[in-house]
Structure 1
Amino acid sequence: MGPSFIALTVGLAACGGGDAPEATAPSAGEPTAVAETGAAPAPAEAVINPENWPKVETPALNPVVERRVDELLSKLTLEQKVGQVIQADSSDITPEEVKKYRLGSVLSGGNSAPGPLPYADTATWLAAADAYWEASVDGEGVEVAIPIMWGIDAVHGHANLRGATVFPHNIGLGAANNPDLIEEIAAVTARELTVSGHDWTFAPTLAVPQDDRWGRTYEGFSEDPSIVASYGDRIVIGLQGRFGSDEFMGDGHVISSAKHFLGDGGTKDGIDQGDAIISEEELRDIHNAGYVTSVQAGVQTVMASFSAWQGQRMHGQKELLTDVLKGRMDFKGFVIGDWNGHALIPGCTSEDCPQSLNAGLDMYMAPDSWRYLYESTLRHVQEGTIPMERLDDAVRRILRVKVQSGIMDKPRPSERPNAGDESVLASAEHREVARRAVRESLVLMKNENQTLPLDASKTILVVGDGADSISKVSGGWTLSWQGGGYPNSEFPNGQSILDAMEEAVEAAGGELIFSADGSYDGEADAVVAIYGEDPYAEFQGDRQDVDFEPNGFDTGLLQTYRDRGLPVVSVFLSGRPLWTNPEMNDSSAFVAAWLPGSEGGGVSDMIFRSDDSFEFTGRLSYSWPALATQTTVNVGGDETPLFPVGYGLSYGDSAEPVILSEESGLTDAATAAKGEFFVRGEFRQPWQLYRDGTPVDAVPFSDDVVAARTVDGEAQEDSLAFRFSGAGDVAIGSGYGHDFSRESNGALELVFRARILSGPEDVTVGMGCHQDDCTAFGTMTLDEEWSEYRMALSCFAGDGVDMTSFNRALIIRGAEGQEVAVGNVRLTSDDDGQADCPAGLGD
């Protein structure tokens, strides 16, 4: 007998209530819904004084370029002009639509490669590039056709292209403190981008992170603005070539985008897309430092930040986008938005936002909202809400970039230099640059009795889940948006740290033993443990503290090895400084390896010092915390870090052994990452079980309606089963509201494992609050065997759900005789786009 299928009704928060209408293009005069995310109205003191900002002088406009721009602009229809200011995501637009709407650009987001995967090979990328380009230059029905620009986030190499070189993330490159190296890395990345037909990368990130809880900390070079400023020009030059020279935008170069303007690294509590409640002086002196040098270097585009300053969303901040950036700083390129970032402006939606263009945004990034945004923007221009002068200025800036970067005259992508030439990808020269970058980025934090370098002719035990995983050591923005989970075979030109160490040990006549979980208890001369954070990107990496929570490897084994008299070398992988005092105490040597990428040989080089010329030159570009609660320790601040910016040892440095305090400063070490509710049989605080709005202290639990017990799912007692003797609710909830609006805007999905144990077909599940008018519902099917169920949050947001405040992550409303088991309730990225919109949502 085959499995039976039970109807499961599922929902998410709709605080505010009411059925949402179907998505349609707004009509003239209709009010638009407010899509604001936690930014309060701007206080009176939130005033920008442009005259106090750095005055930048950039090269004068090229009259030849401007004449051509004038000519092109005069030939464009109003519809073409509106198309030029809109960018769509490749997952949501066809080449035929590019031609029809004459869009200015197409991007491929972190999970939006052509084909079935979030990444693709050279041929697949290039075929898509040709198709979009050919559609954009098809002159049917227009006097002049304008080629598109195709953009992608190549933030540490072209990491969505299979076989490309994956460099260390910026946090490691900041520790290298080598601007020459940064320019080399950017030049390599640009060359590899031209292999797949891309014109444009959304890099460099010039954030100056001030709170290490931020999930994008690793995208910032340093907390010190002077380091960021020293890199801002050099990475632009590496990507584009030197502005004004013959090499500018020549063979092997791509357009650069400085991001995210402005203050993304200064948000309160390190919340991604949050509010930087700081002074104008701090915004200017700390967070603008890298933009001064990048604009001086001729960066062609600047990306507006999702975040706010003093309650004002950057996508609508005219004083900064227009008066400061384009005026005082003389930026002559164009401002691109971030992923539906315009929707966060009060009074805007993703489909209707004249405020953003009027504030100085020149091109909307409207990945899935572009169709209705096109219609509403066209209407706003026709009605005068958007002045024609503002539209013409935006289009002029876009055309200027396209003309002076050569896009107007280039052949189809497959016919350009480097196109399709896979020998360019991870060439010997490129890999050498990446391996050197790894060596220079490593920071030696501890080297008791000069444990390092190890003797490769000895017996070396290698442990840890990072040793043989290129995916883990590369972090987020690698093959997919969130990264992680990919086998080494998907990095055909890369080398894991383990493989590199095996080469070194074999060459020296030693023996290497690998035990990922560390269970080997045989003889060895030394242990190298490679472990750390799992990959994440953007807001999924936001944290509530900077405590390292071991995952994938039991760091308690380090002390066991020490007790056996073995020297222990920890190679710590992380996207930010983390409180690791217990791990440091249990290590003879401790190396902050950050997220080194696809050249594991760089780590092996330093473990064994495979060349006498090699030296640990990496120095911290972020303060290292003395406590897990020390999240905002920064250069010039009042807090004293465990290790300051600039700290780092060399091989020959001697230091007295010091036992570090293992008091973390946390009052509750079980604080969870945002988006984890009930994982591996544990409630992640502040989430717990509720019964009809009342917290449940422990399971098993029972009353006259519901009985709750633990059951086995993937592991012993890692799930909960609820038997209902009547109609009633149980929920995973917390005592206060939470803002998940960013998650609903960023391809997140609610994921849980479940099965029906007994009872009637209909099972009602929701998310919201304990009032009935604050929850939305839909219908799915539930198997009688354990299965994973996934629901895209965007489905609920699109149905009018207000995700800004809720305190019930998962509500189960049962019926008499029903028993349902649930486990592993969490949010994760919709990497493959397979999450469903439950039927009946909003009924």
Structure 2
Amino acid sequence: MKNKPTHLVSLFLCLTLVACSSSEDISVTAADAGLDGKSELASERARVETHNLNIWPVVKNGIEPDEYIEATIKQLLAKMTLEEKVGQMLQPELRVVTPAEVKEFHIGSILNGGGAFPNDEKYATVDDWVATADTFYDASMDDSDGAVSIPIIWGTDAVHGHNNVFGATLFPHNIGLGATNNPELIRQIARATAIEVAVTGIDWIFAPTVATVRNDLWGRTYEGYSEDPDIVKAYAGMIVTGMQGQSDTPELLDSSHVVATAKHFVGDGGTANGIDRGDNLATEQELFDIHAQGYVSAIEAGVQTVMASFNAWQGKRLHGHRYLLTDVLKHRMGFDGLVVGDWNGHSFVEGCSSVSCPQAINAGIDLLMASEPDWKTLYLNTLAQVRNGTISEVRIDDAVSRILRVKLRAGLFDNKPSARPLSGQRELIGSPQHRALARQAVRESLVLLKNRQQLLPLDRNLNVLVAGDAADNIGKQSGGWTLSWQGTGNTNKDFPGATSIFAGIQQIVDDAGGTATLSQDGKYSNRPDVAIVVFGENPYAEGQGDRQTLEYQPGEHHDLALLQKFQADGIPVVSIFLSGRPLWVNRELNASDAFVAAWLPGSEGAGIAEVIFRAKSGESQYPMVGKLAFSWPKDTQQTTLNRGDTDYQPLFPYGFGLSYGDIDTLGDDLSEQVFKSVTTGLKPLQIFNRRAMSPWELVIDDEQGAEAVFSGSRLENGSMSIVSVDQLSQEDSRQVNWLGGRSGTVALTSDDSYDLSPYAGVSSVLSFSARLSQAPTSPLIARLQCGEACFGEIDITDNVAALNHGEWTRLAIDLKCFAQAEMDFSKVSTPFSLATSGMLGLAFGNVVYEANAQKNADISC
């Protein structure tokens, strides 16, 4: 057992000297939590009996109960008011809560979402982070109003290093770490991440993600280690140990460790069709065998928090699933820490909203992630629901006990953030030791898929041309969850101390007397000995990363054209492919002499050069050791492709990965046929679905030519502003504010033109969600563009002005309205734009071309 913390001794002695009302043991049974009356208890027992608890193991928790902690919890509960207890159960986001509100509402936790920083400053320093942590901590401990002093706990998404902090080490995303098959390395990465988080005064990491990914269309595939639950189980416990410290030793949750989170419970990686926040249809046995293995080892390692998942299991949302959260996780598996909700995840439960969800609390959510400005209404509603018996006080006490248990185990009562030993030690952020560890992870994560005639490793003294839009792009090589939620809006200047892939190549080649030239478009005047082309997916995160096909660059093939250019010139081609999932790249493989799956390597791009070039002696400097933790598809229909499938026919099987010296028999004649599903009629064409869908970009422009691409979470150009907002899910829509004075346009556009004529010929509509916040003061024009002087437009001012303020409404425009304006649908460059010279506040989302939907048009011509 861990040695008794000194802070608990003093706190316990202090509490025993004050008069406290007697209270019974607040521990509850699986059936009793949150229930009132015999009839509800009988109903609950019947509910449990419809499932099979015996499927789930009794797990030995890595942290033994501590009598001092349990006694302290009881004493604290006896002193707390209901208002204080409910406040402990809310976790507002940094951008929607102030320290004064933390004190007033007794808030127990805050978080910073992706792209949230102290003072809303992307380049916030370590001192800024610590000062902000202190300010919130001091507010939570202020007992001047007679409240019980309970420290706040701050959580952050440090999912591949401390990725919200300027200058931090960024490790490869989990999909790359899965390819290393090195649990000890994973523990060391978790340890380094915990240190960098502790430096900023933050207490809690929302990691590891222990999803077992079964459909690679899922936009969070790269957050999973593997399709294989064995790897997930082997890693989960090691990561928890790295973050929290070894259980049953003095290092457990000491000042250099932080609280870990196993997420997302449960089944998030197995939703139908890979839809984020969708429905997992697995049997209960499959749910445990495939999707819950990471939780077993995480609990064994003593994980202190588990995050509930957005997804449903067999139609029921996990945030409201009492059987899985309470009966299975808390009681059968013995998890005694806290269950936290995901970003407003309670609002997805049937019958709930963002401001009211007793169902989630009764199901077993202990801490509601209330990320919207309306969290105070949620606080008031929850208070009322306890007082009227909708939520029992027993359930509230159980939830608060779990929250207090985590805070006491983590030693948060000991010192404010700035007084902790690692706090403020700037030299630990992006330290040389951590960057060296990240380079090791990059080296071990690389998977060699093709190596014709043993092209790799390369000699160092060659004339090397490095091409591709990812070659010198640290943001692209780092992927999502990098300074911003989606990983967009960054430049190389945002990553001090990091190295791009080109920079790593340049250093090795130049030091050996060779020449490394960067040419993104592949143009050259001096014929190179070899071309290294670095290309792949642009950054994305949850929701916005969901795909409709595994084909790489469907409808456009500019990366393929670059490879084929070198191939036609007789120049050997090494492809470095960046992706958050296996993708169908048969064409690109055929056009490459060597092909390396590099995943999303993070800030230390130099690790790639260390492997693909020989040592000065001529031998391999580092071996090629990575092996696929995900099966690689041979055609576009293999979206669900996993080891053990009855009809398992991948291009590269699970565990594949060439080593240097292996004979490569792949050849250059892979099928390039794109298999498409048989459908009746045209599918809806998504132009904007939580993000601009490729090949379109979201831009704002005005009459003075102040065009800017929207790639972050907010943007303005003087005449208008645009910011990401929530409609049905996190940041799935955009709020546009026109300031008036000169014409401004928001558009989904591309430099190229595309043939959308099939939609024009089948009674289609252009539909989008809209929410009015300020009525238009000048005409609002919806326009489609088909070239500089080719367009179709329609005035929709009256239709928008008639919308109910603050309410989301679907608008559908008959495409014939644009065709009548002589629009040429065979060469569309801008499939959606809105323009006005007046003032207007309008949010939009989910822009779609819908075939055979003319009867649903709101605007006809």
- Length-normalised TM-score, structure 2: 0.77
- Structure 1 stretch displaced more, 226-235 or 745-754: 745-754
Q: 1:625 to 1:772 in 2, by over 3 A?
A: closer
Alignment-derived partner of residue 808 in structure 2: 801
Equivalent pair of 2:735/2:842 in contact (CA under 8 Å): no
Alignment-derived partner of residue 363 in structure 2: 359
Q: CA deviation at 1:753?
A: 12
Alignment-derived partner of residue 342 in structure 1: 346
User: What does the per-residue CA deviation read over 1:534-563, in whole Å, with 9 as the maximum and x for residues that have no partner?
Assistant: 000000000111110078953212122122
| Among 46, 50, 55, the residue aligned to 1:52 | 55
The structure, 1 or 2, with the larger RCO (C-alpha pairs under 8 Å, 6+ apart) is 1
Find the residue that maps to 2:260 and give its secondary structure: strand
Equivalent pair of 1:542/1:673 in contact (CA under 8 Å): no
Q: How does 1:431-510 map to 2 (within 5 A)?
A: 431-510=435-514
Task: Tell whether 2:532 aligns with 1:528.
Answer: yes
Q: CA deviation at 1:787?
A: 13
User: What does the per-residue CA deviation read over 1:611-630, in whole Å, with 9 as the maximum and x for residues that have no partner?
Assistant: 74511110000000011121
Equivalent pair of 1:517/1:554 in contact (CA under 8 Å): no
Q: CA deviation at 1:455?
A: 1.1
| Among 512, 519, 525, the residue aligned to 2:523 | 519
2:733 partner letter: E
| Among 646, 649, 652, the residue aligned to 2:658 | 649
Alignment-derived partner of residue 731 in structure 2: 747
Q: CA deviation at 1:481?
A: 0.1
2:153 partner letter: M
Q: 1:280 to 1:46 in 2, by over 3 A?
A: farther
Equivalent pair of 1:276/1:307 in contact (CA under 8 Å): yes
Q: 1:366 to 1:592 in 2, by over 3 A?
A: same
Task: Tell whether 2:605 aligns with 1:600.
Answer: yes
Q: Partners of 2:596 and 2:432 in 1: how far apart?
A: 26
Task: Tell whether 2:356 aligns with 1:372.
Answer: no
Find the residue that maps to 1:556 and give its secondary structure: helix
Find the residue that maps to 1:423 and give its secondary structure: helix
Q: CA deviation at 1:674?
A: 6.9
Q: How does 1:81-230 map to 2 (within 5 A)?
A: 81-117=85-121, 120-230=124-234
Q: Partners of 1:163 and 1:354 in 2: how far apart?
A: 41
Task: Tell whether 2:662 aligns with 1:662.
Answer: no
| Among 223, 233, 239, the residue aligned to 2:237 | 233
Equivalent pair of 2:500/2:605 in contact (CA under 8 Å): yes
Q: Partners of 1:302 and 1:458 in 2: how far apart?
A: 51
Q: 1:135 to 1:320 in 2, by over 3 A?
A: same
Q: How does 1:322-721 map to 2 (within 5 A)?
A: 322-368=326-372, 369-409=374-414, 411-549=415-553, 554-610=559-615, 612=620, 614-637=622-645, 638-658=647-667, 659-666=669-676, 675=688
Q: CA deviation at 1:253?
A: 0.7
- Structure 1 stretch displaced more, 607-616 or 101-110: 607-616
User: What does the per-residue CA deviation read over 1:129-182, in whole Å, with 9 as the maximum and x for residues that have no partner?
Assistant: 111111111111124211100001000000110000000000000001100000
Q: 1:447 to 1:357 in 2, by over 3 A?
A: same
In the TM superposition, structure 1's runs of 4+ consecutive aligned residues that sit over 6 Å from their partners are: 668-674, 677-684, 712-715, 751-759, 769-775, 781-788, 809-814, 816-819
- Structure 1 stretch displaced more, 271-280 or 559-568: 559-568
Q: Partners of 2:157 and 2:316 in 1: how far apart?
A: 26
Q: Partners of 1:655 and 1:94 in 2: how far apart?
A: 60
1:418 partner letter: L
Q: Partners of 1:66 and 1:45 in 2: how far apart?
A: 28
Q: Partners of 2:464 and 2:129 in 1: how far apart?
A: 42
User: What does the per-residue CA deviation read over 1:583-623, in whole Å, with 9 as the maximum and x for residues that have no partner?
Assistant: 00000000000000000111111110347451111000000
| Among 242, 249, 255, the residue aligned to 2:253 | 249
- Structure 1 stretch displaced more, 283-292 or 66-75: 66-75
Equivalent pair of 1:756/1:783 in contact (CA under 8 Å): no
Q: 1:141 to 1:508 in 2, by over 3 A?
A: same
User: What does the per-residue CA deviation read over 1:613-669, in whole Å, with 9 as the maximum and x for residues that have no partner?
Assistant: 511110000000011121001111123111111000011111235221111213699
Q: CA deviation at 1:770?
A: 7.5
User: What does the per-residue CA deviation read over 1:465-504, in whole Å, with 9 as the maximum and x for residues that have no partner?
Assistant: 1111100000000000000331111110211111111110
Q: 1:100 to 1:655 in 2, by over 3 A?
A: same
Q: Partners of 1:797 and 1:495 in 2: how far apart?
A: 50
Identity of aligned residues (%): 46
Equivalent pair of 1:86/1:364 in contact (CA under 8 Å): yes
Gaps spanning 5+ residues in structure 1: where? 1-43, 685-711, 716-739, 762-768, 789-795, 828-834
Q: Partners of 1:751 and 1:619 in 2: how far apart?
A: 44
Q: Partners of 2:568 and 2:766 in 1: how far apart?
A: 56
Q: CA deviation at 1:277?
A: 1.3
| Among 294, 310, 313, the residue aligned to 1:306 | 310
Find the residue that maps to 2:595 and give its secondary structure: strand
Equivalent pair of 2:772/2:806 in contact (CA under 8 Å): no
Equivalent pair of 1:753/1:786 in contact (CA under 8 Å): no
Equivalent pair of 1:207/1:259 in contact (CA under 8 Å): yes
Q: Partners of 1:268 and 1:476 in 2: how far apart?
A: 23
Q: Partners of 1:522 and 1:413 in 2: how far apart?
A: 57
- Structure 1 stretch displaced more, 270-279 or 56-65: 56-65
- Length-normalised TM-score, structure 1: 0.79
Q: 1:770 to 1:619 in 2, by over 3 A?
A: closer
Find the residue that maps to 1:115 and give its secondary structure: helix
User: What does the per-residue CA deviation read over 1:67-110, in whole Å, with 9 as the maximum and x for residues that have no partner?
Assistant: 11111111111110000011000100000000000111000011
Q: How does 1:752-767 map to 2 (within 5 A)?
A: none
Q: Partners of 1:178 and 1:797 in 2: how far apart?
A: 56
Equivalent pair of 1:474/1:598 in contact (CA under 8 Å): yes
Q: 1:459 to 1:683 in 2, by over 3 A?
A: closer
Find the residue that maps to 2:544 and give its secondary structure: helix
Q: Partners of 1:667 and 1:207 in 2: how far apart?
A: 28
Gaps spanning 5+ residues in structure 2: where? 1-46, 698-704, 709-723, 746-763, 785-802, 834-839, 845-861
Find the residue that maps to 2:111 and give its secondary structure: strand
- Structure 1 stretch displaced more, 70-79 or 100-109: 70-79
Q: How does 1:19-98 map to 2 (within 5 A)?
A: 47-58=50-61, 59-98=63-102
Q: Partners of 1:237 and 1:811 in 2: how far apart?
A: 58
Q: How does 1:280-291 map to 2 (within 5 A)?
A: 280-291=284-295
Equivalent pair of 1:531/1:553 in contact (CA under 8 Å): no
User: What does the per-residue CA deviation read over 1:669-725, in whole Å, with 9 as the maximum and x for residues that have no partner?
Assistant: 9996672599799899xxxxxxxxxxxxxxxxxxxxxxxxxxx9989xxxxxxxxxx
Find the residue that maps to 1:320 and give its secondary structure: helix
Q: Partners of 1:250 and 1:553 in 2: how far apart?
A: 51
Q: 1:345 to 1:586 in 2, by over 3 A?
A: same
Q: Partners of 1:749 and 1:527 in 2: how far apart?
A: 40
Q: CA deviation at 1:52?
A: 1.8
User: What does the per-residue CA deviation read over 1:733-777, in whole Å, with 9 as the maximum and x for residues that have no partner?
Assistant: xxxxxxx99863312334899999999x9xxxxxxx989999765
Q: Partners of 2:214 and 2:410 in 1: how far apart?
A: 35
1:646 partner letter: G
| Among 248, 258, 264, the residue aligned to 1:260 | 264
1:629 partner letter: Q
- Corresponding pairs, count: 718
Q: Partners of 2:156 and 2:443 in 1: how far apart?
A: 27
Q: Partners of 1:838 and 1:267 in 2: how far apart?
A: 29
User: What does the per-residue CA deviation read over 1:190-238, in whole Å, with 9 as the maximum and x for residues that have no partner?
Assistant: 0000111110010000001111000000000000000000001000000
Q: Partners of 2:377 and 2:692 in 1: how far apart?
A: 39
